[in-house]
Each structure stands twice: as structure tokens, then as C-alpha cells.
Structure 1
Amino acid sequence: MTDTTPGATDSIVDVEGLRVGHHSRLDEDATVGVPGVPGRGAACGVTVVLAPDGAVAGVDVRGGGPGTRETDLLSPENSVRHAHAIVLSGGSVYGLAAADGVVRWLEEHGHGIEMGGEGLVVPIVPAAVIFDLPVGDWQTRPDSTFGYLAAAAASSTRCDTGSVGAGTGARAGAIKGGVGSASATISSGPADGVTVAALMVANPVGAVFDPGTGVPWGAGGDPGRFGLTAPRPADVDTAAELAAKGTVFNTTIGVVATDAALPKDACRRIAVAGHDGLARAIRPAHSPLDGDTIFAVATGTRPGGAEGAMPSAFAPDLAVRAAVCEVAAEVVERAVVKAILEATTVAGIPSYRDVFPSAFAGPG
């Protein structure tokens, strides 16, 4: 296994060149709709990963019901290499409008593909959405103003997580979903010093914890690394009653990022690898009811060290790609777990902490 250490903030802003911003609307009286009766109040939002100077980008869509924008442009055979932001939004297809606001913010600040004249730029802003419309008022969903405000709020030093941004109305099976992020810096081999990180919006139809133990799937056999202990049987029984109610909510989307200088086809491969982490943390993943989509970006802010002693038949940076892909799966898995653990109850959807309070009680 590749040796790693957590980044300074253990989030995607540990990748130099990236910023993260959220904009949410959450009303205290928000409720979840049921068949024939819409919810009330607002519970929705947008999360933006900004790369104002541009980052090489790729994408891999695995779910059967995706809602996306500009994903064809990211195919390795197509011409444009850079994206200037990735938008993750609630609101299903309506939420794709949030990307327009991010484009407007980028244009106003001169970020995009330069087209010759002063201020003439074309920002590239791919996007993906989750289906969260029944949480809160169906008619209240992110629009271009949400996207603009999320971009304006973006920070290179802070990445808020939990029930914020695109995670505001997210649901993970029977419990609250949210935004999670994680990072790792490689400390050995040809990718020594390279940082890999992920930001995920967890809103899956699948389960995020083992129904027999209550431990998050992504925590594996070591829940202690997330500050957890095995929940008590009474909490597990409570969770089983919640799970029996079922849910139609679906889709986990996110961004994997690295500061390595890698080409577009490598970003596609990193996005593919990221889905391995998603499948470890959610069961089942990539269902016909999900729109699971992972973007990958390489800022190239840590140049050099990308070539190794590879046969001429292979890409010279193959060893670095392999290491980054391995770590990509790990940070996605950890980001999904953190999204669940850091979410708070919204619109009556209970958080993991509310359902499994004994998991946070410590040994004894």
C-alpha cells in the first residue's frame, strides 16, 4: 500500500489551487414530503469547487440516473483540457441552473479560457446534481444566484462539511446525508509529496452503515480512526426500524483532486478509481436509481516527479497515476464516512449521531 499522511485540513482545500464554497437555504420548519403531500420550508444548497486558474479535468459517471452538465467535454478525446469550477448541487435537474451563476462569477473575475480581448473569457463549469426535491418545498431549489453566492464564498483555507451546501437536503438511506471531505499526502515512492483529496455529497439510495453492527461500511474494521466505537444493540434496533421505511432518495456525487501534473486521460482514470471508494462506503452503489458521478481535477501545482522508469509502451507518469488512483479510492471512502458523521438532523431526517449516540460514547 502507498504510504500517506492526512493533509493539514484533511479536506480538498489541501490541494493547492482549489477553493470550496457553499450556499444553502434551510428553514427551521422544513419537512419531508410524502406521496401526494409536498414538503414545506426550504432545505437545499450548492457546493462549488473552484479552480480559478484552471485544472485538468475528467469525469466518470456510474449511476443509472445521472443529472449532469459538460461531462462530454471532459472525455479524453475532446479538445478542452481545463475546467475552472465543478458545481455540485441539490435540486435535481433544476439545480443545474446553479452552474450559470458560477460561470457569471468567473467571467466577472476574468477566469476562463482567454479568447483574445481583455475580459473575453469562456469559463468551463461542469456540474452534477442530486435528487433531494422531496426534502422541503419542492418549488424551492438552487438557481443561478445560489451558484454565484457559493463561488463568491469560496475559500482556499476552509472546507465546511455536514449538512451544508449541496448536502443540505441530502439523505443517505434512512438517515441524513451531507458533504464530506478528506485528503492525504503521499509520503513514499514516485509520487512522494503529492496530495490527493476528495469532496463528496452523500445522498445514496444504498446503506452507509452495516445493519448488523451500525458501524459505517467505510469505517471497516477500525471505527476508532473516526472516533467511533461499536454502537449498542438498542441503537442498532432503532436503525433497523428506520431502514424499514425505505427511501427514494439517490445519488452520490463529488470531486477527487490532486496537485500532481497529470494529463486529461489520467484524470479520467482517477475518477474511475474514486468510484471504488464510493462502493466501499455505500452498499449498493451505482444502482439504476442512483446518478453516481465523480469528477477528477489535477491542478499541477506540484510539478515534477511525474515520470518514472517505465517501459516506452506506457505513459511515463504511470507510476504516479497508479499511486494517485490508489489514494483516490481511500479519500473518497473516508469523505463519504465523514459526510455521514458530520451531518446534522434536517427536516426530521435523523443524523447518524442521533440514531447511534452510543457510537460516540467512547469505550466502556
Structure 2
Amino acid sequence: MGSLTDVPGIRVGHVQRHDAGWLTGVTVVLPPPGTVGSVDVQGGGPATHETDALDPTSLVSVVDAVVLTGGSAYGLASAGGVQRWCEENGRGFAVPGGVVPIVPAAAIFDLGRGGDFSARPTPDMGYAATAAAAGEKEGHDVGRGNVGAGTGALLGRTFKGGVGTASVTLDSGVVVAALAVVNALGLPIVHPSPVVEPAKTLDFDRLNHREDKLKGPAPLNTTLVVVATNAVLDVAECKRTAAASHAGIARALNPSHTLADGDTVFCLATGGVALDRSDETARQISLITLQSAAADVVRLAILDGVASAEPVSTPAGDYGVYGAE
């Protein structure tokens, strides 16, 4: 199925804790310098940071890192540690006296799932996840399942969610890839597929009775996605690609984009391969092809996250770091 790191220059780091009341973590996507990015939020209950800065009408166009985190709005504090790492390494928007790293973030709701409501991702966890990503080699394997921001993820408030990833390479040489953190109210839309096997962690006979899963406390859920490509895109084209990618969430999960979901898609374009823009028709076809592929890989990444979910173990009192040498 490939992974987000099939896009040259993209690296991913996970940090998580699942001891002493903790069940949460941080995932950082670290793109190469100069990567253009934008975001589209279609969930009714988002927990986000710096998303307005990625609007095509705003000043900046370059993204230094993307943070996906647990801990709901509290977990957005982890972005401070990512900014600290970026500043120390000279990555950011140049201003008099230094740089201001552009580090958008989005969070899932996993508060209290390890037993301690106050156990939330910290700036130090964000820093560690960024350092883990930076220490990876080109094209490294990406941790899947209950790692990073997917550590405490749930699906339909009953089953384990998690981190999944997928990619496709188009005939033009453009790579389109996605990484998803699945913590959804919705359940998988299951149908025969030659590509994706049903998730072994789910009892699909029970999924036919979804009303049993939707009772109880008010749902607080989110699917977070980073789409990346090596194509040359401007900020407006990244914004449109992020918006089109939400179709992949709707194809994979039902319901999706509810009032209680914070469904958010970031799009990153590293700019290695030029699209055919020889005339207006060629430009439109190139973008439609890329955006259709983005929706497809988002769907596959979500189903991969469900299929990959499984318990993990870490020495008590320590961070579990996935993505570091």
C-alpha cells in the first residue's frame, strides 16, 4: 500500500505514552524545506492550531512541520516543542532577529482513555517526535496502528483506531500519499476489495448494529489526515486538494464530518515534479487526476489504520518512540 514517506523528503516521527494513566501520543510530519501547504477542515468539532495561516490569502505559503496529536485542545501544546526544534534548526519564516516556524497542528479526542484525564501530550513529546522524524532515512517505514497520535484512538467508540498510510504513483511520476489518524465516530464502509482486507481487529457482524455503538456519552471524535505529493502546487491548489481529499474520509467511514468530528486534512506539496500545464485543459486534467488520487489514498490510509490497530507495550515510565534510529 505504500506510505507517506514514498514522497521524497517526507519523514514521520511518533512518540507515545501508555503507562501510569497515559494513552496518547504525537505524530509529526516533517517535510523538506520549502514545502508548500494548506488545510481544509470539514468536521464540526475541530481542535486546531495555525490553520488560518495556511489560507491561500495569507502571508505564508511554506509549512515547516505538521503536528497530529492526542489530548484534544490540550494536546496542541505539543506544537510548541515542534516549533522549538524547528527554531533550533533554522527552519521557519524569516523575521528580524530569527525565524518563526510555521507549524500547524490538529488533535484527536482521547482524554482519559488511559485512566488519567490530565495525561496529555506535552511540548517535550512534540520535540521528541520531531527529532525522531529528522533522524530517519529517506523513504523509511512509517509506524502504523496504535502509535503516535493514534495510541489512544478509538473507532465507533468501541474498537481500536490508529495510524494508517498509503500511496500511489501516477503515470506522470507524481507521487500522492496520505497518513491518517483514525479516531472516528463512524465505522468502516466494508465491501469486497482486491486491495484492502477487512480489519482483523473488528467483528463485522457486530458492525451491522451500529445503533448499539452510538449510545452513551456524547461522542467526541476526529479523523486527521496529511496528504503529501511531490508535485508542484501553489497554496490554492493545495487547499483544493485538501478539500477533495475529504471524499476519501466519506468513502471509508460512515458517518463522517459530523458535528462531533474534527475531520481535518492537510496537504503538502514538495515541488519535485511539474504538472502538465501546457494549456488550460492540460492543467485541469493534471489537477483533477492528482486530487482524485488523493481521495483514493486517504480512503486506503484510513482502512490501513483500522487494520493495523493493535496493542503496544512500552517499559513503564518511559516514552515509546517510533521513528528514531
TM-score, length basis structure 1: 0.78
- Which residue of structure 2 aligns with residue 298 of structure 1? 269
1:85 lines up with 2:82 in the alignment: no
CA deviation string 1:263-322 (max 9, x = no partner): 0000001101110000000101000010111010101022x34413326xxxx7332211
Q: What letter matches 1:176 in structure 2?
A: K
- Which residue of structure 2 aligns with residue 196 of structure 1? 176
Unaligned runs of 5+ in 2: 314-325
Structure 2 Cα separation of the partners of residues 166 and 183 of structure 1: 20
Cα displacement (A) at 1:237: 4.0
- Which residue of structure 2 aligns with residue 19 of structure 1? 11
Q: What letter matches 1:203 in structure 2?
A: N
1:184 lines up with 2:152 in the alignment: no
Cα displacement (A) at 1:116: 5.8
Structure 2 Cα separation of the partners of residues 229 and 143 of structure 1: 31
1:309 lines up with 2:279 in the alignment: yes
1:254–1:325 CA distance, 2 compared to 1 (3 A): same
1:127 lines up with 2:95 in the alignment: no
1:71 lines up with 2:55 in the alignment: no
Query: How many residues are matched?
Result: 304
- Which residue of structure 1 aligns with residue 316 of structure 2? none
- Which residue of structure 1 aligns with residue 128 of structure 2? 149
Structure 1 Cα separation of the partners of residues 201 and 266 of structure 2: 34
Structure 2 Cα separation of the partners of residues 229 and 103 of structure 1: 36
Greater RCO, 1 or 2 (C-alpha within 8 Å, sep 6+)? 2
| Greater Cα radius of gyration, structure 1 or 2 | 1
- Which residue of structure 2 aligns with residue 175 of structure 1? 159
Cα displacement (A) at 1:78: 1.1
Cα displacement (A) at 1:206: 1.2
1:98 lines up with 2:78 in the alignment: yes
- Residues 198, 307 of structure 2: 8 Å contact kept: no
Q: What letter matches 1:284 in structure 2?
A: P
Cα displacement (A) at 1:195: 0.3
Deviates more, 1:319-328 or 1:124-133: 319-328
1:131–1:229 CA distance, 2 compared to 1 (3 A): closer
* 1:257 pairs with one of 222, 228, 233: 228
Q: What letter matches 1:198 in structure 2?
A: A
CA deviation string 1:61-91 (max 9, x = no partner): 0011001011111111111101110100000
Structure 2 Cα separation of the partners of residues 77 and 139 of structure 1: 37
1:76–1:225 CA distance, 2 compared to 1 (3 A): same
Q: What letter matches 2:308 in structure 1?
A: E
Unaligned runs of 5+ in 1: 1-5, 28-39, 209-216, 348-364
Structure 1 Cα separation of the partners of residues 210 and 263 of structure 2: 24
1:252–1:231 CA distance, 2 compared to 1 (3 A): closer
Cα displacement (A) at 1:231: 11
- Which residue of structure 2 aligns with residue 339 of structure 1? 305
Q: Secondary structure at the match of 2:91?
A: coil
- Mapping of 1:348-363 within 5 angstroms? none
The sequence identity of aligned pairs, in percent, is 46
1:105–1:295 CA distance, 2 compared to 1 (3 A): same
